[in-house]
Amino acid sequence: MTNTEQDRWSRVKSRLRTTVGEDVYTSWFARMDLESVHDESVHLSVPTRFLKSWIQAHYTDRVLSCWQAEMPEVHRIDLTVRSAIRAAAPVKEVAAPIEARPVMRSEGRPAELRSFATAPVSANHDALGGSPLDPRLTFASFVVGRSNTLAHAAARQVAEGRRGDPVMFNPLYIHAGVGLGKTHLLQAVTWAGNSGSERKVLYLTAEKFMYGFVAALKTQTALAFKEALRGIDVLVIDDLQFLQGKSTQAEFCHTLNALIDAGRQVVIAADRPPSDLESLDDRVRSRLAGGLVVEMASLGEELRLGILKSRVAAARVHHASFDVPEEVLDYLARTITHNGRDLEGAINRLLAHSKLNNQPVTLEMAEREVRDLIRPQEPKRIKIEDIQRVVARQYNVSRSDLLSSRRTANVVRPRQVAMYLAKTLTLRSLPEIGRRFGGRDHTTVLHAVRKIEALVAKDTALSEEVESLKRQLQE
Ligand code: ADP
Ligand code: MG
């Protein structure tokens, strides 16, 4: 691919990111690659069939118009599923000298960087129909810091367990925002668990679970189902928030119960806590919350610096001359605050740039190369519990008063204010909010929201109170 095509593709991706928003972009487009451009048509690829059909059904027009904004002559987008082989067998690519072949992948990521860990590939894992694993995502390359100490320790514990050991916490449920290391940790568990020991660890994304595992199980008899489950010692499921559909969830619930009851370990990652997985039913939610639930907070500056250093060290395995001065690392750690993916992207760009242009990395070059990765801080994600806590404190009632059925004026008003804030400051639905306020009906929530809206419009004291609560929550 030429540099011009590469640049265009970067701009198309930025456009797409802006049109669909950060969350949608990371969910559906982060793994989309540009294969080629021919006159009127652009060939793109994604790693799974599920992504392909989803993007085709929902985003074809937008992808096309983002291309047309760059290249008006484009009239067609071909989307294909790229074979797993490219991702799973990076070893050969590494052997090729960097100058001899086009090195830029779609994210400006030289193929070499894709493989620095040398964990043994598990035949087990493939035979069981697991999702592809990235050989770089191991414990060795995972940097531990304040925000992920507990999650890391729990993951290690799980990975080191032996067949027949008592299971300490089940399921282990890890949640965190995008790019904070969930997939890294889960794949590390899978690599470590499958290496050497007699255990079988199966890593599945929720989408794979929906479309592969469940389908395979459905075609078998109940007996075969149990047999298949018996073979798995640790089931690892990534991105559980994508699990959709009633029958899939029933199947998931069934699998979860069967495994836990049989003393097998389940490890799950999602972008939110179990209580916020709105589409799951109560039983599954409480089963999920019944093990160990750990949150990984956003990466602190020190951890970001650690991740950058480990990335540079990894790159230096293949590119000994690649050197990133301390001041550049400090600059990156200070300014790229968003997530681990951007840190990785930054190092890859510096590597590509310094290799292609044969120039040492300088602060000036870094500032230029990573400009678009520096994004304004995301607004804080406010939780319903925080709202309840802050409101209770403000009105001098307890949180359980807010959730109780008491109807005295001193609790009713604060409760309504809290519901109003939950509706305006979070993305939770009315039924979800009702559920989180002691199992109230959604019409009660709606009534509260309308009531407070009306009051705020004419009651300055209340309006100031609400503003002050908002400020406290957004700090
Ligand atoms: P998530 O699944 O939470 O969205 P990933 O696990 O894909 O995030 O992490 C995004 C990128 O950041 C990956 O390249 C990952 O290796 C890196 N990363 C995140 N946290 C860490 C960490 N603690 N140590 C090393 N790399 C990390
Ligand atoms: Mg992930």
Angle between helices 49-70 and 3-20 (to 10 degrees): 110
Ligand 1 binding pocket includes 307 (Cβ within 6 Å): yes
Cβ atoms of 144 and 299 within 8 Å: the answer is no
Let me know whether 283 and 316 are in one domain: no
Q: How confident is the model at residue 21 (pLDDT cuts 50, 70, 90)?
A: confident
Q: Could you report the per-residue pLDDT of 464-475, keeping only the tens digit for each?
A: 999 999 988 887
How far apart are the CA of 177 and the centre of ligand 2, in A? 9
Task: Kindly give the number of the ligand 1 atom that is closest to the alpha carbon of 181.
Answer: 6
Looking at 373, 403, 437, the residue that finishes a domain is 373
Q: For the residues 265-285, what does the mean pLDDT come to?
A: 87
| pLDDT, average across residues 147-160 | 92
Does 277 lie in the same domain as 206?
yes
224 and 310 belong to one structural domain: no
Q: Is residue 468 one of the residues assigned to a domain?
A: yes
C-beta 184 within 6 A of ligand 1: yes
Give pLDDT, residue 89.
31
Band (pLDDT 50/70/90 cuts) for residue 263 is confident
Is the Cβ atom of 186 under 6 angstroms away from ligand 1? Answer: no
For the segment 334-386, what is each residue's pLDDT rounded down to a tens digit? 998 878 899 999 999 999 988 888 889 999 999 988 887 776 655 567 889 99
pLDDT of the residue at 107: 36
Per-residue confidence band for 112, with pLDDT thresholds at 50, 70 and 90: very low
Q: Which atom of ligand 1 is nearest to the CA of 343?
A: 12
Whose alpha carbon is nearest atom 1 of ligand 1? 179
Same-domain pairing of 331 and 393: no
Question: 329 CA to middle of ligand 1, Å?
Answer: 17
Look up the domain containing 74 and give its range: 3-103
Alpha-carbon torsion (374, 376, 377, 383), positive or negative: negative
Residue list, CB under 5 A from ion ligand 2: 182-183
Rounded distance from Cα 183 to ligand 2 centre (Å): 4
CB of residue 344 inside a 6 A radius of ligand 1:
yes
Identify whether residues 43 and 76 lie together within a single domain.
Answer: yes
Give residue 277 CA to ligand 1 midpoint distance, Å: 22
In a domain, 342, yes or no: yes
Nearest ligand 1 atom, CA 180: 3
Q: Per the domain annotation, does 287 fall within a domain?
A: yes
Asked, for residue 433, whether it belongs to a domain, the answer is: yes
CATH code where residue 195 lies: 3.40.50.300
176 and 260 share a domain? yes
> Measured in angstroms, how far is the CA atom of residue 311 from the centroid of ligand 1?
11
Whether 387 is in the pocket of ligand 1, judged by its Cβ within 6 Å, is: no
Ligand closest in space to the Cα of 181: 1
Distances (CA, A) of 33 to 9, 74, 92, 456: 9, 17, 20, 49
| pLDDT tens, position by position, 36-72 | 888 889 999 987 776 787 788 778 888 999 999 888 8
Ligand 1 contact via 275 beta carbon (within 6 Å): no
pLDDT at residue 5 is higher than 80 = yes
Residue nearest (by alpha carbon) to ligand 1 atom 20: 181
Stated pTM of the model: 0.60
Residue where a domain stops, chosen among 373, 392, 413? 373
Residues 215 and 273 in one domain: yes
Pocket test for ligand 1, best of 307, 308, 310 (most atoms within 8 A of CB): 307
- Banded pLDDT at 155 (limits 50, 70, 90): very high
Q: Is the CB of 55 under 6 A from ligand 1?
A: no
Over residues 190-197, the mean pLDDT reads: 83
Q: Is the CB of 212 under 6 A from ligand 1?
A: no
* Beta-strand pair 172-175/76-81: unpaired
Confidence band for 176, pLDDT divided at 50, 70 and 90? very high
Mean pLDDT for 110-130 is 44
**Residue 409: pLDDT over 70:** yes
- Of 264, 295, 326, which residue is a domain's last? 295
Please determine, for residue 98, whether its predicted confidence score (pLDDT) is greater than 80: no
Residues 87 and 230 in one domain: no
- The CA 442 to ligand 2 mean position distance, Å, reads 32
Residue 439, helix vs strand vs coil: coil
Helix (H) or strand (E) holding 204: strand 201-205
pLDDT for 132 equals 83
CATH number at residue 24: 3.30.300.180
Cβ(297) – ligand 1 distance below 6 Å: no
Amino acid at 322: F
What pLDDT band is residue 224 in, cutting at 50, 70 and 90?
low
Distance 26 CA to ligand 2 centre (A): 9
Verify that 146 and 174 share a domain, yes or no: yes
Rounded CA separation 81/54 (Å): 12
Q: Which of 275-289, 311-325, 395-409 has the lowest average pLDDT?
A: 275-289
- Asked whether residue 379 is domain-assigned, the answer is no
Of all ligands present, the nearest one to the C-alpha of 239 is 2
CATH value at residue 455: 1.10.1750.10
* Tokens matching residue 267: 């490890």
Buried b (16+ CB within 10 A) or exposed e, 224-250: ebeebbeebbbbbbbbbbbbeeeebbe
Q: What is the number of domains present in the chain?
A: 4
7 versus 434: the higher-pLDDT residue is 434
Distance 256 CA to ligand 1 centre (A): 26
Lowest mean pLDDT among 11-15, 74-78, 104-108, 443-447: 104-108
- Do residues 320 and 360 both lie within one domain? yes
In this structure, is residue 378 part of a structural domain? no
**78 has pLDDT over 80:** yes
- Distance separating alpha carbons of residues 122 and 202, to the nearest angstrom: 10
Looking at the fold, whether 235 and 145 belong to one and the same domain comes out as yes
The reply to whether 108 falls in a domain is no
**229 assigned to some structural domain:** yes
Q: What is the mean pLDDT of the chain?
A: 82
Q: Any idea what the CATH number is for the domain that residue 360 is in?
A: 1.10.8.60
Q: Which residue has the higher pLDDT, 127 or 115?
A: 127
Closest Cα partner for 308 from 105, 145, 188? 145
Kindly state the average pLDDT of the residues 260-268.
Answer: 90
DSSP string, 28-97: IITT-EEEEEETTEEEEEES-HHHHHHHHHHHHHHHHHHHHHH-TT--EEEEEEPPHHHHH--HHHHHS-
Distances (CA, A) of 123 to 48, 130, 133, 194: 20, 10, 12, 9
151 CA to centre of ligand 2 in angstroms? 15
Q: Which amino acid is at 181?
A: G
pLDDT at residue 377, rounded to an integer: 57
Q: Is 143 in the pocket of ligand 1 (CB under 6 A)?
A: yes
Q: Do residues 265 and 403 share a domain? A: no
For residue 206, name the pLDDT band (cuts at 50, 70, 90).
confident
Whether the CB of 397 sits within 6 Å of ligand 1: no
